[in-house]
Amino acid sequence: MSAGSSQALLCGPMTETNDHTQNNAHDDVQGASQDAARIVLVTGISGAGKSSALNAFEDMGYEAIDNVPISLIDRLISPGGFEDNTAIGIDIRTRDFNAKAVLKKIAGLTRRQEANIEMVFLDCDDEILVRRYEETRRRHPLAKDRPVSDGICQERQQIEALREHATLLIDTSEMKLGDLKRTLDGQFGLNRAGGLSVFISSFGFKNGLPRDADLVFDVRFLKNPYYDIDLRPLSGKDSEVADYILSDEGFDPFFGKLVDMLNFLLERYDDEGKSYLTIAIGCTGGHHRSVFTAEQLAKSLQEHKFPVQVKHRDIREV
């Protein structure tokens, strides 16, 4: 948040400023039986994207329902309720909402091994939330006759307990809808073979760090094709740029060590049960060195057992 932000926004987001997606491992919200239906509770700050997340779950094959009264949650999850994989939206608009009551119900169901229950918490910077409400001319559910920022601050206090016990925290401040869908599919996709999925993104430092990055690598030490007038309009996907970067005697030793380290880390992350990892490769503008390195890294890691996707944040895809 910038130094010039309004004092009304000092409640602030409960996510770390530059962080992304974060996995928690709380025993009281994790599932028990491998054969039970997968239940995902979708919650978070109003305006952070809960409706979009529920739509994404529906596209993945889940039964998606919103604003289920807290008193009915155990009926839906217990035998005789939903037997399919289900995503349930819960927030402050939900009748009889109480964060501690939600956690108590989840803990009881988990102990009885009636479902594999996970929770996604969607968060967003306050300034961006305010802008979203202003652009859509919608009112915050807790700010009918007050500034939106007051409603956001009050809501954070009411749902803090859910955030602390979430399986997955997602900061949507700089996410596009496609990025949110990709993140959810990587964690909860029903067609996944299981294990760790890897996403690689190139970016330019001048445009800021990616918020969703787990690991960040800086390749600005490599020779910069930008200063070659013929290469400047090209990208790291072009062979001329590739040849230029490969001519840097520092690239091969760096890349070999990078791949060795990542192969070691991916195995350990997979053994730990991590299901999704985002690797960000950055250069100055995000057009040349980071793009080439990301492409090469994706090819190298694809030779191993982990599925890899690659995206270039700061170049226009054709």
| Res 244: pLDDT | 97
> DSSP strand E in 79-220: where?
86-89, 116-123, 168-171, 197-204, 215-218
What is the Cα–Cα distance from 210 to 316, expressed in whole angstroms?
17
Residue 79: count other Cβ atoms within 10 Å of its Cβ: 9
What is the Cα–Cα distance from 286 to 314, expressed in whole angstroms?
5
Angle at 18 between CA 156 and CA 158, to 5 degrees: 5
Query: Which residues on neighbouring strands pair with residue 89, listed in sequence order?
Result: 42, 66
SS3 category, 312: strand
| Res 32: pLDDT | 46
Domains of the chain: 7-188 (3.40.50.300), 197-312 (no CATH)
DSSP state letters, 62-102: -EEEE---GGGHHHHHSTTS--S-EEEE--TTSTT--HHHH
Contact at 8 Å (CB) between 64 and 86? yes
Torsion of CA 14, 19, 20, 24, to 10 degrees: -70
Order of strands across the sheet with 21-23? 21-23, 168-171, 116-123, 38-44, 86-89, 63-66
**The token pair that represents 306 in the structure block:** 């982990």
**Exposed / middle / buried, residue 1 (Cβ in 10 Å: 0-12, 13-18, 19+):** middle
What is the Cα–Cα distance from 104 to 113, expressed in whole angstroms?
14
Torsion of CA 91, 92, 97, 99, to 10 degrees: 70
pLDDT in tens, the chain (318 residues): 333 333 233 455 443 333 445 655 444 444 444 556 788 999 999 999 999 999 999 988 888 888 888 777 777 766 555 567 889 998 888 777 888 888 887 787 777 665 678 899 999 998 999 888 888 888 888 887 788 888 899 889 988 989 988 888 999 988 888 888 888 887 888 766 567 888 899 999 999 888 778 999 999 999 999 999 999 999 999 999 999 999 999 999 999 999 999 999 999 988 887 777 899 999 999 999 999 999 999 999 988 778 888 989 898 754
| Res 112: pLDDT | 63
Tell me the whole-structure pTM to 2 decimals.
Answer: 0.65
H-helix or E-strand spanning residue 43: strand 38-44
| Res 140: pLDDT | 85
Length of the chain, in residues: 318
User: Could you tell me how far CA 24 lies from the centroid of its own chain?
Assistant: 13
Residue from 99, 104, 95, 106 nearest 158 by CA:
99
